[in-house]
């Protein structure tokens, strides 16, 4: 017998079909992703109580935290910005970090995101309570040291992957008596003049730091570089040439900036040249693809040319793995700086750290005033604070071997937990901004479904998480990312790519555009009682909010028709149809 029959007669819910029932969302982190959440959620939903906790004193994420000299964008800035907030004023094709931080802070203010952001608040614990269908979250106010208890229907991590410094695990590290810094935890009050500096690491950060410190008066640098890195000609060169600009003159003049400001259409054309360049680079990531082979030749020649006077460094610095296996960095001035008399490159591994400096495996001893660890971040691991899902399962246990997700945004057994810039979410070549926007838009669709259709929770089916993992592993098998290098893209055992999305940015945007709802399982609001109710009761009172005063445009579907009339038999002239995403 239909259980509903024995219940009271069905009555209409007294609300419009939009069903903006009150829900609460907590977001961790106010970098690119957290700010985006604080712009989009209020734009697309009503009655969402939103709170973004940020542990730092300012927003901007890595661009606030990374204060080392030389920190800058490694892709054209005209592509590293929100698609909806183009900045015509970038000072350089590779804008410095502080300018990027100001951009994010400026956008956060302009779009009203600051209303939702609490800085100096660190999330320390989050646990799903299944009887209440809520996330219970503990937060520390870092100014007063007070502990705060909060709760929400939905918990979104936007904590970044490159913001928790990874310190080198070297014997004696604690014993060093001089100054110690990490690229992600810089002390900008420190005076480097006349200092003996040891730099550990040669990833993207070291490549930007070394040329800057080399120039400081009276410094000597010793750079400990365990494994080679590709130094590329700059990503934007081809696009700059396509625009008729000189790729070596990357600073923009006031006239150029004024032109970008006064002529948004022309600026859009320029942005599209950079964006197209980045979006069509995928072949480069496929091992043995002719473009990858050509890239490797180009990079090798570029590095050999720059290192012509130092064949010893050339053999040391030019990698054997495919370019792109670890992030390729333009590294302006890096190879040049390594050849300066006050810079020494040490390739012998570090065997220990002493109170005064470093001892290498070849037993050479080096003394330093300051040690710079450009040793990267704790990436392929769950957050440093506990996140407990169903049956108090810790996320760190769920991910003990390696992280796995459904389409990078969620994982089974963790209802209403969504990841921004989570595992398998980044892109190896090019800007991260658009792929992260695509993931964010997907998550906001999930939040809206939970709200509108009276679902208390949703989580991906475990079989779909497995399917995605299999897809990821298979996709990457034939790519440069699985070549022989260390990189943050890989799991700890080096067997899997866990940092990158398995495909291009355009692939991700299409995959995420329309959620496959059948890959999720749901619980309705109200538990057992809720299940007995008419599952379509969210249809409400038969009215739409747009009929109410101030509720919107009652004829919103009437617009200027932008579809071109197709011309029979002239398919090449019907391009406009193909300029938009396909299908539903
Ligand atoms: C030096 C550097 C340069 C980079 N350059 C580029 C580039 O040129 N192009 C590119 O595409 N990408 C670049 N990246 C990658 C960059 O990480 C992403 O592009 C993007 O900025 C990530 O934004 P996010 O909001 O996800 O994370 P983040 O910017 O890392 O922000 C996360 C925020 O979460 C906060 N947080 C973390 N844990 C907690 C907690 N428990 N409680 C409260 N708050 C918390 C952090 O304080 C931080 O502010 C770079 C990264 C680094 C480190
Ligand atoms: N805009 C930019 O240009 C920019 C700048 C900085 C960072 N980023 C982003 O941030 C990511 C991380 O860059 P990152 O340079 O900070 O970190 P990284 O790429 O992870 O590099 C860390 C470096 O430290 C070395 N290292 C770690 N532990 C060591 C030890 N015990 N002894 C000796 N060497 C050690 C590593 O050597 P091995 O390689 O041998 O392990 C590696 O060279 C980049 O991939 C990029 O996405 C971008
Ligand atoms: C760019 O800079 C100009 C001049 O300083 C200023 O008038 C303009 O508002 C700026 N544009 C943006 C989008 O910040
Ligand atoms: C969940 O909430 C209920 C009701 O408030 C409480 O009794 C229970 O102890 C909570 N469960 C957990 C695991 O905290
Ligand atoms: C290192 O070289 C730079 C210039 O290339 C110079 O300014 C600096 O003083 C030098 N340091 C020493 C100790 O020579
Ligand atoms: C990093 O250090 C290793 C260790 O010698 C070296 O082979 C490699 O070329 C270095 N990378 C860069 C970019 O210098």
pLDDT digits (tens, 9 = 90+) for 16-56: 999 999 999 999 999 999 999 999 999 999 999 999 999 99
List the beta strands (DSSP E) in 281-346: 343-346
Q: What is the pLDDT of residue 485?
A: 87
Average pLDDT over residues 418-444: 96
For the CA of 226, the closest atom of ligand 6 is 4
List the beta strands (DSSP E) in 218-329: 220-224
Residues with CB under 6 A from ligand 3: 87-89, 261
For the CA of 217, the closest atom of ligand 5 is 9
For the CA of 162, the closest atom of ligand 2 is 10
Half-sphere exposure of 60 (CA within 13 A, CB side): 18
20-164+379-522 against 173-232+288-321+323-373: fold identical: yes
pLDDT grade for 579, boundaries at 50, 70 and 90: low
Topology (CATH level 3) of domain 173-232+288-321+323-373: FAD/NAD(P)-binding domain (3.50.50)
Closest C-alpha to ligand 2, atom 13: 204
**What order of strands is seen across the sheet that includes strand 357-360?**
350-353, 357-360, 365-367
CB environment 356-392: b (16+ within 10 A), e (fewer): bbbbbeeeeebebbbbbbbbbbbbbbbbebbbbbeee
Q: What is the pLDDT of residue 328?
A: 82
Topology (CATH level 3) of domain 20-164+379-522: FAD/NAD(P)-binding domain (3.50.50)
Which residues, other chains included, contact 556 with Cβ-Cβ below 8 Å and sequence gap of 6+?
546
498 closest CA partner among 380, 370, 391: 380
By most ligand atoms within 8 Å of CB, the mutation choice from 125, 131, 134 for ligand 4 is 131
With a 6 Å cutoff on the Cβ, whether 391 touches ligand 4 is no
Measuring CA to CA, how many Å separate 149 from each of 47, 122, 563?
21, 12, 52
Q: What is the pLDDT of residue 573?
A: 63
pLDDT of 449 above 60 = yes
Ligand 1 center from residue 268 Cα (angstroms): 26
Q: Which ligand is nearest to the CA of 87?
A: 3
Stated length of the chain: 584
With a 6 Å cutoff on the Cβ, whether 390 touches ligand 4 is no
Name the strand (E) or helix (H) holding 230. none
By most ligand atoms within 8 Å of CB, the mutation choice from 192, 218, 223 for ligand 5 is 218
Q: Where are the domains of the chain?
A: 20-164+379-522, 173-232+288-321+323-373
Q: What is the pLDDT of residue 566?
A: 66
* Mean pLDDT across the chain: 91
pLDDT in tens, 145-170: 999 999 999 999 999 989 889 999 99
């Amino acid at each position: 017998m239909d259980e509903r029959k024995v219940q009271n007669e069905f009555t209409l819910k007294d609300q419009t079909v939009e069903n903006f029932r009150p829900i609460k969302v907590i977001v961790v982190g106010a970098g690119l992703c957290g700010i985006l959440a604080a712009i989009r959620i209020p734009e697309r939903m009503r009655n969402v109580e939103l709170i973004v906790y940020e542990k730092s004193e300012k927003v901007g994420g890595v661009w606030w935290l990374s204060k080392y000299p030389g920190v800058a964008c490694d892709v054209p800035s005209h592509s590293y910005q929100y698609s909806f907030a183009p900045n015509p004023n970038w000072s350089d094709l590779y804008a410095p970090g502080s300018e990027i931080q100001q951009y994010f802070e400026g956008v956060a203010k302009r779009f009203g995101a600051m209303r939702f952001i609490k800085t100096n608040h660190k999330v320390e614990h989050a646990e799903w309570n299944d009887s209440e269908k809520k996330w219970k979250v503990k937060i520390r106010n870092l100014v007063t040291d007070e502990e705060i208890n909060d709760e929400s229907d939905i918990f979104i991590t936007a904590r970044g992957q490159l913001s928790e410094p990874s310190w080198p695990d070297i014997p004696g590290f604690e014993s060093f008596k001089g100054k110690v810094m990490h690229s992600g935890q810089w002390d900008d009050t420190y005076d480097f003049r006349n200092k003996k500096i040891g730099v550990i690491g040669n990833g993207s950060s070291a490549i930007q730091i070394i040329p800057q410190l080399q120039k400081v008066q009276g410094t000597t640098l010793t750079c400990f570089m365990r494994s080679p890195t590709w130094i590329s000609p700059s990503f934007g060169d081809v696009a700059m040439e396509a625009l008729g600009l000189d790729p070596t003159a990357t600073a923009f003049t006031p006239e150029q900036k004024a032109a970008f400001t006064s002529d948004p259409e022309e600026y859009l054309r320029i942005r599209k040249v950079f964006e197209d360049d980045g979006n069509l680079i995928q072949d480069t990531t496929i091992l043995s693809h002719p473009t990858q082979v050509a890239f490797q030749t180009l990079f090798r020649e570029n590095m050999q040319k720059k290192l012509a006077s130092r064949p010893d460094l050339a053999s040391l610095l030019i990698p054997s793995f495919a370019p792109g296996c670890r992030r390729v960095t333009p590294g302006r001035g890096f190879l040049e700086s390594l050849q300066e008399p006050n810079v020494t490159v040490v390739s012998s591994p570090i065997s220990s750290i002493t109170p005064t400096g470093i001892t290498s495996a070849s037993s050479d001893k080096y003394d330093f005033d300051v040690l710079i660890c450009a040793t990267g971040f704790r990436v392929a691991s769950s957050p440093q604070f506990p996140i407990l899902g169903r049956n108090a399962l810790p996320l760190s246990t769920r991910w003990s071997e390696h992280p796995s997700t459904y389409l990078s945004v969620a994982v089974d057994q963790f209802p209403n937990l969504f990841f921004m810039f989570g595992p398998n979410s980044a892109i190896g070549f090019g800007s991260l901004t658009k792929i992260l926007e695509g993931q964010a838009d997907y998550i906001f669709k999930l939040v809206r479904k939970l709200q509108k259709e009276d679902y208390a929770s949703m989580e991906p089916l475990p079989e779909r998480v497995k399917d995605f993992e299999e897809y990821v592993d298979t996709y990457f098998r034939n790519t440069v990312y699985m070549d022989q290098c260390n990189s943050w893209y890989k799991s700890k055992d080096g067997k899997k790519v866990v940092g990158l999305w398995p495909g291009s940015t355009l692939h991700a945007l299409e995959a995420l555009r329309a959620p496959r709802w059948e890959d999720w399982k749901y619980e309705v609001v109200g538990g057992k009682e809720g299940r007995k109710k008419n599952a379509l009761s969210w249809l409400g009172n038969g009215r739409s909010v747009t009929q109410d005063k101030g509720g919107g445009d009652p004829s919103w579907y009437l617009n200027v028709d932008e579809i071109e009339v197709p011309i029979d038999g002239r398919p090449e002239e019907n391009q406009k149809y193909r300029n938009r995403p396909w299908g539903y």
